[in-house]
Amino acid sequence: MKNIILISLLLVIVSGYSFKIIAQCSDAGVCSVGHTMDDDNDNILNVNVGYKFGSSGKEDDVKYHSFQLGTIYNVFEKTSLQLSIPYNIQSGPLGDVKRIGDLLISVTQNFISHNNSSLGASIGAKFATGEDNADNLPMAYQSGLGSNDILFALNYTYQNIGFGVGYQLAGGRNNNVIKLERGDDLLIRASYNLLVDKFTITPQLLFIKRLAKSSILDTSSMTSSESFIEVDNSDQAQLNLLTVVQYQIDKNYFLFADFAVPFIKREVNVDGLTRSFSASVGVQLNIN
């Protein structure tokens, strides 16, 4: 699952069905997959553009800037296709890296959308389109994770309350100088929608658990063949508070913003995903 990058999978994405917000969560991708639908809206396409800033807040002191483009196309009445891709900038004491990030594609199928209830399931993939070994720098400086991952999500809402669960199947070892292999991630989400005039305020709790320790190249090995070691505490859990605010300008245009901080923070940053905080702003267009 992957700690606080892409807080984003990572972009506040709200679909053309007047979706209740399922926002980015600063992770390796699983938080950005899935949304809930309403049947009372005839929009078929949603396009959104956003900017996100984050900080590692650690000794590496890396700052993150991400410009994100996303779209959701309602292929059928209850089926939608979601795509998003960022352009990432990482800056820190060791240098700067500017690259396209990892592409995320997913499909969501709505099963229930009536009587104040909505249930949907999503399956997707995060493709390693981003650089994972620029200038031989640590993963905290890289624009991509370097693996092709499979993503699953299940989201349920009743009235203003939402619950979700997600899973990210990590795609193997990357090409970074440490040759990182991450464990799979489990996500559990709880949210509440508060409507105030043209504002929608959605606080969320996101529990992310790495299910296995990460492993990296053993540089102390004296053998000619490569060997790998597990990184202590790289399977720690994380609990984030994410608050999303959406403002409806008119029927087709929305502004959005979010802010997230960890209540429980993963201390090991070998995958470069840990953030001390993250915030984003953007605009969304719905097209009929």
pLDDT, residue 251, reads 87
The number of CA neighbours under 13 Å toward the Cβ of 99 is 20
Contact predicate 62/89, CB 8 Å:
no
Nearest Cα residue to 30 out of 194, 193, 145, 162? 145
Burial (CB < 10 A; 0-12, 13-18, 19+), residue 17, is: buried
Handedness of CA 217, 222, 223, 229 (dihedral sign): negative
pLDDT, residue 13, reads 32
The chain-wide mean pLDDT, for the chain, equals 85
Cα separation, 104 vs 40, in Å, equals 27
Q: What is the CATH superfamily name and number for domain 30-287?
A: monomeric porin ompg (2.40.160.40)
Report the 10 Å Cβ neighbour count for 241. 13
Handedness of CA 66, 67, 73, 78 (dihedral sign): positive
pLDDT, residue 28, reads 64
pLDDT-derived band at 268 (thresholds 50, 70, 90) equals confident
pTM of the model: 0.86
117-131, 141-155, 244-258, 264-278: segment of lowest average pLDDT: 264-278
Contact predicate 145/174, CB 8 Å:
yes
Domain ranges of the chain: 30-287
Contact predicate 267/231, CB 8 Å:
no
> Which two structure tokens, joined as six digits, stand for 87?
């352009």
| More confident call, 1 vs 133 | 133
Strand partners, 107: 81, 123
Contact predicate 24/4, CB 8 Å:
no
pLDDT, residue 200, reads 94
Cα separation, 212 vs 69, in Å, equals 31
pLDDT in tens, 185-224: 999 999 999 999 999 999 999 999 999 999 999 988 877 7
Report the 10 Å Cβ neighbour count for 187. 25
- Cα 217 to its chain centre, rounded Å, is 26
pLDDT in tens, 6-54: 333 333 333 333 333 333 344 566 676 665 555 555 678 999 999 999 9
Residue 166 has pLDDT above 70, yes or no: yes
Contact predicate 158/181, CB 8 Å:
no
